[in-house]
Structure 1
Amino acid sequence: MLNYVTTNPGKVREAVQYLGDAEVGQVDFDYTEIQAPELGPIAAHGAREAYRQFGEPVLVDDAGLFVDALGGFPGPYSSYVEDTVGVDRVWKLGEGEENRRAEFRCVLAYCDGEEFRASPDPIDRDDRVAAAAAGADENAEEEEDALPVKLFEGVVRGRLVAPRGEGGFGYDPIFEHDGKTMAEMSTEEKNAISHRGRALAKFGEWFAER
């Protein structure tokens, strides 16, 4: 059983599409969300904590909107910014910028307590630089005892625009890809180019050989 740590059943349904015959279950676990300038360390920390809680293979994701002209803001703070500042104000911040390029990113972190090789996106005991970038494992007495975690990233590129569309959620109304905002897309259109879907596709290919 692969435990997807999320409160959103839609993520589990999306994962099933990419994972073939793998059995995927939803787990609601409030892991510690550390502060970090990148998504990887946050997801990796959550995966380690969730694995220690359940003792079974776990998948944790973290995602955000990264706006070039705002130095990547709101990035890993996207959820907090949406709740406190609001989507419209993020648009107002970028409205006057000539460069409105932006991207949605998602990082999936997988942990099953076992060793694995360092491709395609490494965080393991054989890659000290990547392991350090992913954040220290606070429960390990020594770095060598840190739980190995693998990261898989998905990205969809677009641009920041004035809010359009009635669908989707979060930043979807202000993110345009190929002429449509995410809020103007059907569920099928959105899933076809989803940053989470792209990360799941990478993970699914690797997991099939795991």
Structure 2
Amino acid sequence: MKGEIKVVTGNSYKFMEFQDLAKDKVILSKVDAPKLEIQADSLEEIVRYSAVTFYSLYRSPLIVEDSGLFVEALRGFPGPYTNYVKRTLDCEGILKLMEGLSDRKAYFRSVIAYIDGERLALFKGEVSGRIAETMRGDKGFGFDPIFIPDGYGVSFGEMELGEKNSISHRGRAFREFLKFYESIEQ
């Protein structure tokens, strides 16, 4: 391992998830900065912009992550606008939009951008599930209390950190990043 990788996020819980996933494979340090979140129609565009911008400030290897909740009955909404929708409508607002809808299929997608001066690489993870009828659990953050992953009877908001990381969109994207990182550090 060459050194540490900065994780640019203002979200302490997200950083905790990354630390749990990194274990002894990579050293992470949190840069508590508000994400420079451009309004764009894709998570890839958002993280690419943020990574390049933050790299110009810090000049050291870093990762930026963005994720979105995509609700099929709402035509993929909130998608790349998840952060804004969480701040404005919150879980209750999504549940209100879903009232009376039987199609509750949804998925979470995560995109991590890694940049180190030589390369910019993106890593993606996705998990399918459904929107719960009510908020469930007080663990996690964001829309975790209303998302039930396929094959589970509990929401992300009811799962312990390790269990969520083993199946989550962010966990999948970070494990892809780790494979890549280990290959470039040989």
Please indicate the TM-score interval, normalised by the length of the shorter structure.
0.7 to 0.9
Task: Please give the root-mean-square deviation of Cα atoms over the aligned residues, in Å.
Answer: 1.7
Q: Which moved more, 1:59-68 or 1:171-180?
A: 171-180
Q: Aligned to 1:3, which of 1, 6, 11?
A: 6
- Structure 1 84/9 Cα, relative in aligned 2: closer, same or farther at 3 Å? closer
The residue that corresponds to 2:77 in the other structure is 73
Given that 1:61 and 1:106 are in contact with CA atoms closer than 8 Å, whether structure 2 keeps it comes out as: yes
Summarize deviations over 1:156-207 as a string: whole Å, max 9, x none: 1100121242322321221112221122222332222221111100000110
Question: The residue matched to 1:21 in structure 2 has which SS?
Answer: coil
Question: The residue matched to 2:107 in structure 1 has which SS?
Answer: strand
Counterparts of 1:105-116 in structure 2, within 5 Å, are 105-115=109-119
Gaps of 5+ in 1: 116-148
The residue that corresponds to 1:15 in the other structure is 18
- Work out the CA distance in 2 between the residues paired with 1:32 and 1:188: 28
Question: How far has the Cα of 1:66 moved from its partner?
Answer: 0.6
- Work out the CA distance in 1 between the residues paired with 2:87 and 2:135: 19
The residue that corresponds to 1:173 in the other structure is 145
Question: How far has the Cα of 1:209 moved from its partner?
Answer: 1.0
The residue that corresponds to 1:89 in the other structure is 93
Counterparts of 1:55-204 in structure 2, within 5 Å, are 55-115=59-119, 149-168=120-139, 169-177=141-149, 178-204=152-178
TM-score, normalising length: structure 1: 0.78
Question: How far has the Cα of 1:31 moved from its partner?
Answer: 4.6
Percentage identity across paired residues of the two chains: 41
Letter in 2 for 1:3: K
- Work out the CA distance in 1 between the residues paired with 2:48 and 2:81: 16
- Structure 1 86/21 Cα, relative in aligned 2: closer, same or farther at 3 Å? closer
- Work out the CA distance in 2 between the residues paired with 1:181 and 1:42: 27
- Work out the CA distance in 2 between the residues paired with 1:101 and 1:78: 16
Q: How many residues align?
A: 177
The residue that corresponds to 1:130 in the other structure is none
Q: Aligned to 1:28, which of 13, 29, 32?
A: 32
Summarize deviations over 1:26-77 as a string: whole Å, max 9, x none: 1123353111111110011000001100110110000121101111101111
Given that 1:191 and 1:197 are in contact with CA atoms closer than 8 Å, whether structure 2 keeps it comes out as: yes
- Work out the CA distance in 2 between the residues paired with 1:31 and 1:6: 6
The residue that corresponds to 1:119 in the other structure is none
- Work out the CA distance in 1 between the residues paired with 2:28 and 2:144: 27
Bigger-Rg structure (1/2): 1
Letter in 2 for 1:176: I
Question: The residue matched to 1:74 in structure 2 has which SS?
Answer: strand
